[in-house]
Amino acid sequence: MKLDIHDIKNSPGESKSYGFDEEYPKFAFMGEEIRFAEPVHLAVTVTNIEVGFLVQGFIHAVVKRVCARCTETLTDEINSDFTGLFQQEKESTSHAGEEDEESEDEDENLEVYSYHGNTIDITDIVSDTITVEISMKPLCREDCRGLCPVCGQNLNEKECSCDTEEIDERLADLKKIFSEKE
């Protein structure tokens, strides 16, 4: 996902807008494979602010997830704004050791990315935005009943004949015994 900035590169204060839909590759997130159900829609404005380029954008994406309880596939919609500062990649010079200087805190909590040449690659800022937005524990529905712990039946689809209630009752009895002993 590269943006051509050559025409605003030497004009501080100038900005340029881009809008596009792009196929986005699947990626791994917390051990889960995240796939996109449709091309990712992006609207981005890049402004030359002398110290770098301010990138302000909006993303709309639909990702395919797996329900954390019943493992059914579900889709999760993302609609989010993002902002980042792109600064020219530092040429590697002979002054090794100077690189450790932290240049953060320059801008109020702006995430800083680097670019070189006449293009800004927004792949990283887009991935960062997506991973912040998607839920850690997606559910196909709020009250998903999950899978039976005994036979694995998806309890949203049908009841199984496993006696999980008896286990619950025995646990309750155990708890009673323990609380009586106190």
Report the residue number, 129 or 154, with the smaller CB distance to Zn ion. Answer: 154
Question: DSSP 3-state assignment of 145?
Answer: coil
Report the residue number, 8 or 74, with the smaller CB distance to Zn ion. Answer: 74
Q: How far is the CB of 160 from Zn ion (least distance, A)?
A: 3
Contact yes or no for 130/78 (Cβ under 8 A): yes
For the window 4-33, what string marks contact with Zn ion as x by the rule CB under 5 A? ------------------------------
147 binds Zn ion (CB under 5 A): no
Q: How far is the CB of 60 from Zn ion (least distance, A)?
A: 24
Q: Considering only residues 1, 40, 42, 140, which one is a binding residue for Zn ion as defined by CB under 5 A?
A: 140
Q: How far is the CB of 62 from Zn ion (least distance, A)?
A: 18
Contact yes or no for 155/148 (Cβ under 8 A): yes
- Cα 34 to Cα 71, 115, 139: the distances in Å are 14, 26, 15
Which residues, numbered 25-84, are part of the site for Zn ion (CB under 5 A)? 67, 69-70
Q: How far is the CB of 31 from Zn ion (least distance, A)?
A: 18
The site for Zn ion, by CB under 5 A, has a size of: 11
Is the four-CA dihedral 45, 48, 53, 54 of positive or negative sign? Answer: negative
Q: Considering only residues 151, 167, 172, 174, which one is a binding residue for Zn ion as defined by CB under 5 A?
A: 151
The single-letter code of the amino acid at 135 is S
What DSSP string describes 68-117?
Answer: TTT--EEEEEEEEEEEEEEEEPPP--S-TTGGG---TTSSTT-EEEEEBT
Q: What CA–CA distance (Å, rounded) separates 138 from 155?
A: 17
Pair of tokens at residue 9: 């590169």
Of the candidate spans 11-19, 84-92, 95-103, 147-155, the one that interacts with Zn ion by CB under 5 A turns out to be 147-155
Residues that bind Zn ion (CB under 5 A): 67, 69-70, 140, 144, 148, 150-151, 153, 160, 162
